[in-house]
Chains A and B, each alone.
Chain A
Amino acid sequence: MKETSVKKSMAFNSAFLQQFLAFGSLILLIVFFSLSSSNFFQFSNIIGILLSTAVIGVLALGSTFVIITGGIDLSVGTVMTLSAVMTGVFITVWGMPVPLGILGGIMTGALCGLLSGAAVARMKIPPFIATLAMMMIAKGLALIISGTKPIYFTNTPGFSDISLGSLIGKVIPGFTIPNAVLIFFLTAIIGSIILSKTIIGRMNFAIGSNEEATRLSGVNVNYWKIVIYTITGTFTGLAGVLMASRLNSAQPALGMGYELEAIAAVVIGGTSLSGGKGTIVGTVIGALIMSVLTNGLRIMSVPQEWQTVVVGFVIILAVYADILRRRKA
């Protein structure tokens, strides 16, 4: 009897409701655009939406970790670029084998996260400032290392397949879901497991809920913060590799602004910027809402400038709905 009452209360708990709201809005959007334009609900268009979600999605997944601690990472956009550039350097300049080059790219992101984390945890620099600095450092380094020119992977056969090939298509002919999408969903599953099943996730929520109480519970908060920023960095590095593969080049000038889109996706997904609350599923839905919206509006021939305006309003709506719901509870 105890068990059933517990389950019942879980069904009404707030995280669940928020996800349901977000998921409901996503479905509504899809239905709306499908009715508005016959071009929307086509297999190729859906694939296009998913593909365009992948990079921002992986960035947003990573950001979710830092945001749940009550922190923020403004550097994910340019660290992604730096990771892409380093992947290019490792593979095309140093001639490293592709898998090693990819690993190097991901480690670049992880290292940047580690440094941001150390600045936040050890030097007590507020996350906003520490990662703002990292954003600029990474941006500058990406330009310096690449000599401000794109690095092309045209001589690395198969590199673009990492994003654009389709493993699923090989197993199920015709069902050509690009690898980038597959990687996005796999990353989401891994992220979700880390957050809900491991000690890292517990520390994540504990620190976000009350950092000082967590410290006074004998938790080495500094250590875990560095771990968490490093995880965000690792996801960011992966996003960099995906980005490079998708463009078949590392574009050193890209990347600024991606961090804000990632944060927007996290927030639309119901994660609280004040920390302690959030889910990976929410972030996935948040990222999908953003790209469905952009894609749908484009199909309806809404000019790009207006698309941005609409996304802005959606962020306000999503967060306000969340605030209203909390006020009730």
Chain B
Amino acid sequence: MSEVLVQMEGIHKSFAGVQALKDCRLELRAGEVHALVGENGAGKSTLMKVLTGVYQKDEGQVIYRGKEVDILSTRAAQELGISMIHQELNLAPDLTVAQNIFIGREPRKAWRLFLDEKAMNEQARALFQQINLDLDPRTLVSELTVAKQQMVEIVKAISYESKVLIMDEPTAALSDAEIEDLFRMIEDLRGKGVGIVYISHRMVELKRITDRITVMRDGSYIDTVPTEEVSIDQIIAMMVGRQIYHTSTPDPRQENNEIVLEVKGLNRGKQLKDISFQLKKGEILGVAGLVGAGRTEVARAIFGADPIDSGEIYIHGKKVSIAGPHEAVRQGIGYLSEDRKQYGCLLDMDVKANVAVASLRKFSKGFGWMNDTDIANVSDKVVDELKVKTPSIHQPIKFLSGGNQQKVIIGKWLTRDCDILIFDEPTRGIDVGAKGEIYKLLDTLAREGKSIIMISSELPEILRLSHRILVMCEGRITAELGNHEVTQETIMSYATKRVG
């Protein structure tokens, strides 16, 4: 067996009296890809922040390559050879790739007075060669795809001679082809004896590339098992400690229903080409495709968030022109962004303010006077009906979990009487247990007659919920499929089908 790189034992950590980690442990070997799984709030990030020196443990010991260490800062962790690739990348977009990799330790010349760009670019190139990455070190980071940016982060970690690499949801923003590249890189690193902690919710990936899995739940260590000895269902069962919700495959009952939204020949620059489709009452229309296929752009164009070059939109058979989100909303369209924190929630404001924000005119009487009693009543109803877990409607929404924030935003659109709802990645960043609740909610909304466009990168999610599926590739719709004729393979073949 290979060398044990990291041994964490009996780690305790609490914040202001709240126990975040209870007797946690983790063992990572050289050349191992070790999955760390658990629902949101299970303590995965906290444990990794202890390892990378962001937090100090209250109790327990960390043994790194045979020696007990006290990691007091991220810098100390980096010097030991422990690096973390965060979900949110920490790169300066206006600097070049090489400048980012060597930030704070740039090679210099002429008595260290001047930067030595040439040496820096050469060193960067040498690093790229090590992992077979084809990239010009002089490229600006802002010109790279998210996938390439992530690889730059990994190269940066390698440049610190890291022996331990922690990856937090590395594939969340990647397309399938990019994921393959990443996995190849992980294999290379594994061959070099680097130990990798791989945090992810995507079970299929975990099965594929990890050697062992450590499961955490509610701040406690549950178990460490060899990956090949467990099934995905068993892992999920360990994570949640309960059964998760399954819907039956939706029936194509909406086939004869009224068309509520029709899009004809929508074009927008290079992003959208000749987009046409129909949405029926009570239907969930799944939109599948790889990252960058233009799915979010379709949503934003219909919603008036971005201008379009040409195309027509009909709502209930009537042609409308939508110059901005306020007009889309007036037509009964609500949009739920994939990035709730930035584009969905008023984070500092409370639940009732978030429920009311789209309908303030409805809640105001003469001279713009706000009817707070009405707002409170409606908010209570939303919390009640959508089963939002919150101590009260006066709770700032930033203290709610992702799933509950999503429910509040759904409540915002229902309050505004929107009957066309566009969900962009409805379960992104939402833990396994709450996903089931969101699925159930989408299904109920459709049964009640709402029409839903659901953009998702998770094919099982698309297959489970959609009545019809649109597949997009490079700004075009490449297929429209009924849900009975679809498998993941068909969708993938259309998602990679390049037209013209």
Contact = CB atoms under 8 A, between A and B. Distances in A.
Interface of A: 2, 5-6, 9-10, 197-203, 205-206, 209-210, 212-220, 276-277
Interface stretch (B54-62, B210-218, B367-375): B367-375
Interface string B337-361: 1000011111111000100111011
B328 interface: yes
- The 5 closest A-B CB pairs, nearest first, are A218-B329, A199-B368, A217-B358, A198-B368, A209-B346
Contact size range, B: 35 or more
B360 A199 contact: yes
Contacts of B416: 218
13 contacts: A198-B369, A202-B353, A202-B356, A210-B347, A213-B346, A214-B346, A215-B324, A215-B325, A216-B335, A216-B344, A217-B329, A217-B412, A220-B326
Contact of A205 (B325, B353, B358, B394): B353
Interface of B is mostly: mixed
B342 A212 contact: yes
Interface in B158-217: none
Contacts of A215: 305, 324-326
B495 to A, nearest CB: 27
B264 interface: no
Nearest to A227: B368
B324 A220 contact: yes
Given A199-B370, A213-B344, 17 more contacts: A9-B394, A198-B364, A198-B369, A199-B361, A201-B370, A202-B357, A205-B349, A209-B347, A209-B348, A210-B346, A212-B342, A213-B346, A216-B337, A217-B329, A218-B334, A219-B358, A277-B348
Find the residue from B337, B343, B369, B416 having the highest chain A CB count within 10 A: B343
B392 interface: yes
Find the residue from B344, B346, B356 having the highest chain A CB count within 10 A: B346
B303 interface: yes
B330 interface: yes
Nearest to B363: A199
A197 B344 CA distance: 24
Nearest to A194: B368
A206 B391 CA distance: 22
Contacts of A210: 342, 345-347
A214 B358 CA distance: 8
Nearest to B375: A202
A218 B330 contact: yes
A201 B356 CA distance: 13
Contacts of B349: 205-206, 209, 276
Given A199-B368, A214-B357, A216-B305, A276 B348 contact: yes
B204 to A, nearest CB: 32
Contact of B325 (A200, A201, A216): A216
Nearest to A196: B370
Interface string B310-327: 000000000000001110
Nearest to A219: B326
Given A198-B369, A209-B347, A209-B349, A6 B392 contact: yes
Nearest to A3: B392
A198 B370 contact: yes
A245 B374 CA distance: 44
A219 B360 CA distance: 9
A220 B330 CA distance: 11
Contacts of B370: 197-199, 201-202
Interface string B453-466: 00000000000000
Given A199-B370, A200-B368, A206-B346, A217 B361 contact: no
A196 to B, nearest CB: 9
Nearest to B372: A197
Nearest to B335: A216
Contacts of B324: 215, 220
B343 A216 contact: yes
Contacts of B305: 215-216
B382 to A, nearest CB: 15
Contacts of A201: 370
A218 B330 CA distance: 8
Contacts of B337: 216
Contacts of B394: 6, 9-10
A13 to B, nearest CB: 9
Nearest to A214: B357
A268 to B, nearest CB: 21
A218 B357 CA distance: 9
Contact of A213 (B326, B343, B361, B391): B343
B18 to A, nearest CB: 15
Nearest to A202: B360
Contacts of A2: 392
Contacts of A203: 360
B92 to A, nearest CB: 22
A2 B343 CA distance: 31
A208 to B, nearest CB: 9
A203 B364 CA distance: 12
Contacts of A213: 342-346
